[in-house]
Amino acid sequence: MAGTRGYVNRRLHSLLGVIPIGIFLIQHLTVNYFATRGPEAFNAAAHFMESLPYRYVLEIFIIFLPLLFHSIYGVYIAFTAKNNLGNFSYFRNWMFMIQRVTGIITLIFIAWHVWETRIAIGFGWAELNYQLMEGILTEPFFFWFYIIGVISTTFHFSNGLWSFFVSWGITVSPRSQLMMTYASIVIFVAISYVGVRTLIQFAYGI
């Protein structure tokens, strides 16, 4: 039944955004943050991640397949909405619209980011080290491209976490939903700091 499939797809879309993609995002930003301790620390951390056992299995099932599903189905969701902020400029309606816009920005950013790093490394065009990211981020255009991409990603995750709590019936009462709004703002600020701080390290060495 198409109806049941739609139901499972939506549930899966909501779940995958947090587990595993959201968890991977936090792990990824955390490992990258080693860069603030200098190139050696970053290289050591990156090498550790690179040399994890059955790495391709982890990459395919924890990163690529969930990301592909979440992004393709997400584009479909984004384009079935008809935004109406003109007449309904409420906070949640803004979040609804920004969630869809950041989803598209994040998709473009991640596609480029994966191409430039993981795929380039896979083909042997680049080597995974501090210098790779330094080379990309010292170019002002790409520095700002990454700033927008990272903040868009952290926003999409934080606000998506709020929606996840509603979609799975965890936060039902208006009060619990409001508390979760505050929590998601704190999460957004915290992980944005981690991401942006790392970018500044690569770009300016400070």
Partner 1 sequence: MSENKTITFIITRQDHPDEPSYEEKFEIPYRENMNVISALMEVRRNPVNAEGKDTTPVYWDMGCLEEVCGACSMVINGTPRQSCTALVDQLEQPIRLEPMKTFPVMRDLAVDRSRMFDSLKKVKAWIPIDGTHDLGPGPKMAESKRQWAYELSKCMTCGVCLEACPNVNDKSDFIGPAALSQVRLFNSHPTGEMNKSERLQTIMDEEGLMGCGNAQNCVQACPKGIPLTTSIAALNRDTAIESFKSFFGSDKQI
**Which residue ranges make up the annotated binding site?**
28, 70, 113, 156
Scanning 3-11, 29-37, 40-48, 64-72 for contacts with partner 1 by CB under 8 A, the matching segment is: 3-11
Write out the DSSP string of 112-173: HHHIIIIIHHHTTSS--SHHHHHHHHTSHHHHHHHHHHHHHHHHHHHHHHHHHHHHTTS--S
Least gap, CB of 89 to partner 1 (angstroms): 10
Is 42 within 8 Å of 32 (Cβ atoms)?
Answer: yes
Is 147 within 8 Å of 195 (Cβ atoms)?
Answer: no
Build a one-symbol-per-residue string for 4-33: x at contacts with partner 1 by CB under 8 A, - elsewhere.
Answer: x-xx-xxx----------------------
The tokens of 163 are what?
Answer: 């929606």
Least gap, CB of 174 to partner 1 (angstroms): 6
Contact between 182 and partner 1 by CB under 8 A: the answer reads no
Judged by beta carbon, residue 2 or residue 206, the one nearer partner 1 is 2
Give the torsion sign (CA, 111, 125, 196, 51).
Answer: positive
Instruction: Catalog residues that contact partner 1 under the rule CB under 8 A.
Output: 1-4, 6-7, 9-11, 77, 79-84, 86-88, 90, 92-93, 95-97, 162-163, 166-174, 177
